[in-house]
Amino acid sequence: MRLFCAVYTTANLLAKLPSVAMDASEFSMAKRLTRVSAAPIPDKLTLPALRTAAAGCKACDLWKLGTQTVFGEGAANARVMMVGEQPGDKEDLQGRPFVGPAGIVLDKALVAAGIDRKEVYVTNIVKHFKWEPRGKRRLHKKPNPLEISACRPWLEAEIKTVRREVVVLLGATAAQGIMGNQFRVTQQRGQWVQSNIAPLVLATVHPSSILRAPDDDSRREEMRKFVADLKKVAVQLQQRRAA
Ligand code: URA
């Protein structure tokens, strides 16, 4: 088993090198020099093996807060990979991504865009629910760069394992986590962007932002724009199938 390490130094984060593969001696040296956590990535990259290994991940402290690791879901030959931010309350309890209110919006938008849900692998850039208590509720809290960095090896392993002709980044946390902090979903949504994570990469809003729209009209309009972004994915899938 290789040790994929999130090396938590400012330089590392600024250089956007959140994870590096090290051999055991490099790892122990890095551990002495800096704060390092290891995500136990299995040698054999299969989704079941990754899911099992991720269940025991303690690469950052979020494992103490979440009920369980919420790993990605879908087929290894899925043509589309969708990356969100982190599981929400429902996802944390069920152990499955996008099964709560945001997932319902996503499913409706996929139907409206003509994308078969069976062709989609859904995952998150952070795989534990980060929350803070607000009365009896668990209120979503945005993951910080260290938590995103610690979880990165899992996403990298999913990217290597899933077919993914297209990756869709849902919301600013996923988009900036992959494309860098300068990326602005507000300006670049719905555009094809260059990245080595997939042949085609596009960022759009997070479906939960549609739920937060202030009234019915703006919610409808936000949904329309979200579906329009996803239709670009559907067109590419059709064209690539025909080619
Ligand atoms: N929001 C996300 O980003 N991911 C989920 O799985 C659920 C809500």
Note the pLDDT tens digit of each residue in 23-41.
555 545 544 444 446 788 9
Task: Count how many Cα atoms sit within 13 Å of the Cα of residue 140 in the half-sphere of its side chain.
Answer: 13
Rounded Cα gap, residues 13 and 7, in angstroms:
8
Indicate whether 16 belongs to any domain.
no
Indicate whether 99 belongs to any domain.
yes
Closest ligand 1 atom number to CA of residue 97: 6
What domain range includes position 203?
A: 71-242
For the stretch 115-129, pLDDT in tens is 999 999 999 999 999
The finding on whether 88 has its CB within 6 A of some atom of ligand 1 is: yes
Structure tokens at 143: 């993951």
Indicate whether 50 belongs to any domain.
no
Indicate whether 5 belongs to any domain.
no
In terms of Cβ atoms closer than 10 Å to its own Cβ (0-12, 13-18, 19+), residue 89 is middle
CA 187 to ligand 1 center in whole angstroms = 22
CA 73 to ligand 1 center in whole angstroms = 12
Q: Which residues pair with 138 in a beta bridge?
A: 133
The finding on whether 123 has its CB within 6 A of some atom of ligand 1 is: no
Q: What is the DSSP letter of 118?
A: G
pTM of the predicted structure, to 2 decimals: 0.88
Indicate whether 43 belongs to any domain.
no
With tokens 């090290």, the residue in question is 22
Indicate whether 221 belongs to any domain.
yes
Higher pLDDT pick, 8 / 196: 196
For ligand 1, mutation pick of 67, 206, 210, 212 (most atoms within 8 Å of CB): 206
Rounded Cα gap, residues 21 and 38, in angstroms:
10
The finding on whether 153 has its CB within 6 A of some atom of ligand 1 is: no
CA 154 to ligand 1 center in whole angstroms = 16
For the stretch 85-108, pLDDT in tens is 999 999 999 999 999 999 999 999
- How many domains would you assign to the chain? 1
Indicate whether 57 belongs to any domain.
no
CA 216 to ligand 1 center in whole angstroms = 22
pLDDT of 161 over the 80 cut: yes
- Check: CB of residue 131 under 8 Å from CB of residue 138: yes
pLDDT of 5 over the 50 cut: no
CA 177 to ligand 1 center in whole angstroms = 15
Indicate whether 20 belongs to any domain.
no
Give the pLDDT of residue 40: 87
The finding on whether 73 has its CB within 6 A of some atom of ligand 1 is: no
Closest ligand 1 atom number to CA of residue 122: 6
CATH number assigned to the domain comprising residue 232: 3.40.470.10
Q: Which residues pair with 132 in a beta bridge?
A: 139
